[in-house]
């Protein structure tokens, strides 16, 4: 598995005419060499895979890392620059989204003057957008874990409880089931706060007659889950129930279009057109979805700006929403795997309109 990933990275080296590439982002390190610590670097050339870290992680690297060589440095910049000089690499690509401008400048100052540094944008992340069978197994397990935790706390969703109390209860329920961490700060947005697409849980108390949106995920074996449900607390205003069914239909229409070869912007268009035709076009501002994997937001982008097409074993979200300022909002989200004949839903909670007792 690692050899296949390194082979694809080496194809990038050839395409960009690079002597070596420097990776430092935690997702890239885990993906290409297996390292799960918080500080290290991986340098890959046509004939060598070399992992570098400091004394805090040398033993861990020895247990986890798959590489030709593991080297310990006392200073990160000096260790990387020294290796470049030692190997005589002249054209080095670096993971620009994971290496800060300050670190890049220090590396340029320490490395041999003839070294030509080439920033790599999303090319590196693009190598991770098609998942293998083991990745998909882990992501499905993470989604089940998160879904089971949500079902555990569902009876506690009632008027008077705060959004933050529910978010904490959900996090604890996930961790009791073995989650390494949450995928992101949970969104729990009730009542008028439902109009905030990223309404991180607050001290607001839930009340009867309103909607509440939960956007949550678990991290397990390094991989993320991501799912959103919106529930009604008793009977809600007719417009909010209508909005729910509009969003639910937009989700269904988009899912029906998923298949290998379809343009991802087409999925966004189908959902957006339905919401617009229902009179709520101005209230759906974000893209339809995003890739999920070692990071909760990664390639591919599913939006009107996307240039990607669906490929077998891509994993991404479908999450249409409508947000009415001062009234509330609805978002419904699933994470799916593209299959040969359509899609497989990795998230598992039901998405039909659900009314909780008050």
CATH number at residue 81: 3.40.350.10
Please tell me the distance from the alpha carbon of residue 300 to that of residue 316, in angstroms, as a whole number: 7
Same domain flag for 192 and 301: yes
Residues 72 and 15 in one domain: yes
User: Is the pLDDT assigned to residue 2 strictly greater than 90?
Assistant: no
Q: Note the pLDDT tens digit of each residue in 256-301.
A: 999 999 999 999 999 999 999 999 999 999 999 999 999 999 999 9
DSSP 61: H
Task: Please check whether residues 180 and 259 belong to one and the same domain.
Answer: yes
Range of the domain at 222: 133-356
Residue that terminates a domain, selected from 126, 157, 172: 126
Mean pLDDT of the chain: 97
Mean pLDDT of 107-127: 93
For residue 156, is pLDDT > 90?
Answer: yes
**pLDDT score recorded for residue 1:** 66
For residue 113, is pLDDT > 90?
A: no
CA distance 234 to 354: 9
Domain boundary among 126, 142, 169: 126
Assess whether pLDDT exceeds 90 at residue 206.
yes
Using a CB cutoff of 8 Å and minimum separation of 24, what contacts does 48-57 make?
48/87, 49/6, 50/83, 52/76, 52/79, 52/80, 52/83
Total domains in the fold of the chain: 2
Q: Do 294 and 167 belong to one domain? A: yes
pLDDT the model gives residue 297:
97
Q: Cα–Cα distance between 21 and 81 in angstroms, integer?
A: 13
Per-residue pLDDT tens over the stretch 140-149: 999 999 999 9
- Mean pLDDT over residues 167-181, rounded? 98
| Mean pLDDT of all residues in 146-162 | 98
């Amino acid at each position: 598995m690692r050899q296949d990933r390194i082979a694809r990275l080496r194809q990038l080296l050839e395409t960009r005419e690079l002597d070596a590439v420097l990776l430092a982002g935690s997702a890239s390190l885990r993906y290409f060499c297996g390292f799960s610590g918080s500080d290290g670097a991986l340098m890959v050339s046509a004939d060598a895979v070399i992992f570098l870290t400091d004394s805090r992680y040398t033993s861990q690297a020895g247990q986890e890392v798959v590489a030709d060589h593991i080297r310990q440095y006392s200073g990160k910049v000096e260790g990387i620059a020294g290796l470049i000089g030692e190997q005589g690499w002249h054209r080095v690509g670096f993971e620009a989204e994971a290496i800060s401008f300050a670190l890049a400048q220090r590396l340029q100052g320490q490395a041999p003057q003839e070294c030509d540094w080439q920033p790599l944008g999303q090319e590196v992340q693009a190598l991770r957008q098609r998942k293998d069978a083991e990745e998909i197994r882990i992501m499905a397990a993470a989604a089940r874990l998160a879904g089971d935790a949500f079902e555990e706390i569902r009876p506690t969703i009632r008027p008077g409880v705060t959004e933050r109390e529910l978010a904490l209860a959900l996090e604890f329920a996930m961790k009791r089931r073995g989650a390494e961490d949450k995928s992101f700060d949970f969104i729990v947005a009730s009542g008028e706060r439902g109009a905030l697409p990223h309404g991180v849980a607050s001290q607001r108390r839930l009340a009867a007659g309103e909607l509440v949106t939960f956007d949550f995920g678990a991290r397990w074996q390094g991989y993320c889950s991501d799912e959103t449900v919106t529930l009604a607390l008793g009977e809600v205003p007719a417009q909010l129930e209508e909005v729910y069914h509009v969003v639910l239909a937009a989700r269904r229409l988009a899912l029906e279009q998923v298949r290998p070869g379809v343009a991802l912007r087409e999925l966004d268009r189908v959902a957006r057109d339905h919401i617009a035709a229902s009179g709520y076009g101005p209230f759906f501002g974000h893209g339809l979805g995003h890739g999920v994997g070692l990071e909760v937001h990664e390639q591919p982008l599913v939006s009107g700006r996307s240039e990607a097409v669906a490929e077998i074993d891509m994993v991404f979200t479908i999450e249409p929403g409508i947000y009415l300022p001062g009234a509330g909002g609805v978002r419904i989200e699933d994470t799916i795997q593209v299959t040969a004949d359509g899609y497989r839903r990795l998230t598992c909670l039901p998405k039909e309109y659900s009314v909780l007792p008050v």
